[in-house]
Amino acid sequence: MAENKSKKVLEEFGDKIVSQIKKGKNPEIEMTLRNLSNIIYDTKQKILKLGNKIQSRSFFNLAHSKKFLQTVEVASVIKKELLGSGKHSSLRDVFYMVKRTIPGTNINLVEDQTESDKALEDLEVITDFSREQLHVAANKMGSVAGKVIIEDKGDTIDWSKMGSGGWSIPSITDELKFKKVSAKYVLYMEKAAVFERLNEDKFWDKNNCIIISSQGQTTRGIRRMLQRLYEEHNLPIYVLCDGDIYGAYIYSVIKYGSIALAHASGRLTIPGVKYVGITMDDVIKYDLKKHFIKLDEKDYARIKQVSEYAWFKNNKDWLRQFKMMKEFGAKVEIQSLTSKGISFISEKYLPEKIKNKEFLD
């Protein structure tokens, strides 16, 4: 069982500290450094990841001791309360479980959730297990429908028999089993309303695929599920976002990872993912200029920033998109396609682009 492995690693982590104490040493934790100076874009693997720099944190060091205690306490709570019971919890719950007054003082071990969150990230790096494998998750979000049958917590769930709603994606998707995958590709979209359009049109049935949506940024639960469908079932993953810089960034996080979660890239990123739209070329081809929304200063600043990221700055196709955005001075939403007809997106736009492999990489 995966739980037993992660429990064992946490036990070893504790044993090491105990043995340092017994030897009269200053207890010390070593881990890969997680700040910007040690986050690199690996041009070969095409993912954001941590470099080789190591940091150490010791108990008898005024600057370290509270963080040291926090890391140890979070490890203890995870081992006892979560892995020990087989239960899962949210980041917020971990905060409340760890929050207690240090005996003999009036100091709380953690005052703010960012402290327990950071300790958890430390433990991901130290143990090489993901937060999800340690049974902790952020909020759930998003829906899925398509030709797939899964098994989860003893239930057999057919994603093609979910009516107008879809299956609600849990925050942790490591443990579900894919029993039968008949779909040929996955279409992920950033907007729940577009999901409802495609679901009502039975797009996944007619095109033999899986449709997945969240709302805004992609949750870790969805990223992991996309990665598993890509790796375990060789399904191509296509991403559908608004034609703006935020859409481009959502795509890039799925593909390359993010700075904040560089240490988790291996379990979340999908180098082979493709961007299906909306592109600035779509605007011309499908005559969407009248639905342009003007860029504001924030948009321009974000375009500049994103174009300079290591994973974009040598990508000619994307740089061309960013240039066009600036020339148009505008962005465009997925739903502007509705102006061509309510089901234009599911009957023409998507089937055409996917058939002709009109993707951005």
- Buried b or exposed e, range 92-117, using 16+ CB within 10 angstroms: ebbbebbbeeeeeeeeebbeeeebbb
339 binds its own copies (CB under 8 A): yes
Pairing relationship of beta strands 293-294 and 136-137 according to DSSP bridges: unpaired
Q: 3-state DSSP call for residue 154? A: coil
* Active-site residue, selected from the candidate residues 41, 96, 249, 256: 96
The minimum distance between CB 27 and its own copies, in angstroms, equals: 26
Rounded to a whole number of angstroms, the minimum distance from the CB of residue 143 to its own copies is 4
Alpha helices in the chain (DSSP H): 2-22, 65-77, 91-98, 113-127, 192-200, 203-206, 220-233, 245-256, 265-268, 280-285, 297-307, 316-328, 344, 350-355
Q: Interacting stretch for its own copies, rule CB under 8 A, among 143-151, 235-243, 253-261, 300-308? A: 143-151
Binding residue for its own copies, selected from 67, 335, 347, 359, defined by CB under 8 A: 335
**Cα 285 from chain centroid?**
32
Check residue 114 for interaction with its own copies (CB under 8 A): no
The C-alpha atoms of residue 230 and residue 236 are separated, in whole angstroms, by 6
Q: Which is nearer to its own copies, 60 or 96 (CB)?
A: 96
Site size for its own copies, by CB under 8 A?
61
Question: Which residues 208-267 are close enough to bind its own copies by CB under 8 A?
Answer: 215
Q: Which of 141, 181, 240, 283 binds its own copies (CB under 8 A)?
A: 141
Q: How many residues does the chain have?
A: 361
**Piece of 64-72, 152-160, 299-307, 314-322 that binds its own copies (CB under 8 A):** 152-160
- Give the nearest distance from C-beta 150 to its own copies in angstroms: 7
Question: Burial level of 39, CB count in 10 A (0-12/13-18/19+)?
Answer: buried
Active site residue 188: no
Q: Does 286 bind its own copies (CB under 8 A)?
A: no
CA pair distance 68, 242, nearest whole angstrom: 43
Among 32, 38, 58, 343, binds its own copies (CB under 8 A): 343
d(CA 3, CA 86): 8
Query: To the nearest whole angstrom, how small is the minimum distance from the Cβ of residue 177 to its own copies?
Result: 10
- Does 195 sit near its own copies (CB under 8 A)? yes
Out of 35, 45, 156, 182, name the contact with its own copies by CB under 8 A.
156
What pairs with residue 51 in β-bridges? Answer: none
Residue 15 or 200 having the CB closest to its own copies:
200
Got the DSSP string for 181-221?
Answer: E--SEEEEES-HHHHHHHHHTTHHHHTTEEEEE-SSSPPHH
The correct pick among 41, 68, 129, 167 for binding its own copies (CB under 8 A) is 167
Per CB under 8 A, 347 contacts its own copies: no
Residues 6+ positions from 337 with CB-CB distance below 8 Å = 278, 286, 288, 344, 345, 349
In the complex, least distance from residue 261 CB atom to its own copies, rounded to whole angstroms: 19
Closer to its own copies by CB, 214 or 252: give it: 214
The pair of structure tokens assigned to 44 is: 């070969």
Question: What is the closest distance, in whole angstroms, from the C-beta atom of residue 59 to its own copies in the complex?
Answer: 25
Alpha-carbon distance 86 to 80, whole Å?
10
For residue 26, which amino acid is it? N
In the complex, the smallest distance separating the C-beta of residue 294 from its own copies, rounded to whole angstroms, is: 12
* Contact stretch for its own copies (CB under 8 A) within 12-20, 48-56, 119-127, 160-168: 160-168
Q: Name the segment binding its own copies (CB under 8 A); options: 115-123, 158-166, 249-257, 353-361.
A: 158-166
Q: 186 phi and psi, to 5 degrees? A: -120, 135
End-to-end Cα distance, the chain: 37
Question: Which residues are known catalytic residues?
Answer: 96
Binding site for its own copies (CB under 8 A): 81-82, 85, 87-90, 92-93, 96-97, 99-101, 137, 139-144, 150-157, 161-172, 175-176, 192-193, 195-197, 200-201, 215, 290-291, 333, 335-339, 342-343
